[in-house]
Structures are given as structure tokens and as C-alpha cells.
Amino acid sequence: AGIGGLAYAGIPVTHREVNHAVTFLTGHDSSGVVPDRINWEGIAKGSPVIVMYMAMKHIGQITANLMAAGRAPEEPVAFVCNAATAEQMVLETSLARAEADMAAAGIEPPAIVVVGEVVRLRASLDWLGALTTGRRLAPDPFGASALKDPA
């Protein structure tokens, strides 16, 4: 889900122009709280892309931890709800706005949450969104030619 579900939404977990590493983690442990053994500073500084399962319940605390550890408030975040199903919904936001935007959108689990610059690639790789709305995919925001214009 953390790789295939994001790819289905047009968000790759790795990209040669953006990152070469990804970290997967859970947003809460078996007791229902954010795991206290997560090294937020290590993850914030060492992983360009963070993919989280079960993170919606504690997204405010998680994003605060990441920003306190050095991640930029404007860093892209995406919530991919019901990934790879007919009910798939994607919300793009930022670390600073994630909690408020999630609440305003009324999205609910199950969802995968991804933090990192790869979220910006969705504009050029969201084939499903382009197919269902008729819009053209944007050029690769990082300059690579992921999409060739037929002209």
C-alpha cells in the first residue's frame, strides 16, 4: 500500500531527482498512541520521504514532531485515502496545514500519508486524475522528462 497505493495516486516514493531513500512508519502503536521510540530527529533529517500508516489520528503531533526536528512547514504532504479503489481520494497540503486541511476536507481512514518533495510529482504523474477529469498532465516539476509532449 505504501508503494503501490501512492504510485496509483501519482506519487512515487523514490525519484532520482528528489530522493534515494524512504522511511515507512506507523502513526500509532498497539496502545493507540504515537510510538515513543521513533527517533523523529533522525527520520526528519535522514529520510527525504516519509510514508506513514495509521497516522491520521495523531497527524497534529506527528507533523509538530517533524517540524520541531527540522522539516520545513511548507513541505508537501499528501493523504491518499482508499488507495487504488474507486473511492480513492487524495488531499495535497503541507506539514503546517496538514491537520487543519485534513479536518476541513472531512477525509477518513484508511489512508496513507506521505511527506516529501515527491508529492509535487503528482501533477505530472496522476494518470487517473487526468483520465477522469480530462486535464493534461503537467511537465515534471524537477526537470526530468517523465512526460513527453507529443507535439
Q: How much is the pLDDT for 150?
A: 38
Residue 148 in any domain: the answer is no
Residue 85 in any domain: the answer is yes
Q: How much is the pLDDT for 145?
A: 46
Instruction: Name the pTM for this structure.
Output: 0.88
Residue 145 in any domain: the answer is no
Note down the domain range covering 11. Answer: 4-133
Residue 79 in any domain: the answer is yes
Q: How much is the pLDDT for 30?
A: 85
Reduced to 3 states, what is the DSSP secondary structure of residue 34?
Answer: coil
Domain containing residue 117: CATH number: 3.30.950.10
> Peptide bond before 110: cis, by omega within 30 degrees of 0?
yes
Residue 149 in any domain: the answer is no
CA distance 91 to 139: 20
Residue 80 in any domain: the answer is yes
Residue 57 in any domain: the answer is yes
Number of domains composing the chain: 1
List average pLDDT for each run of 10 residues in the chain, which is 151 residues long.
Answer: 94 89 92 87 96 96 97 98 94 98 96 96 87 84 52 40
Residue 150 in any domain: the answer is no
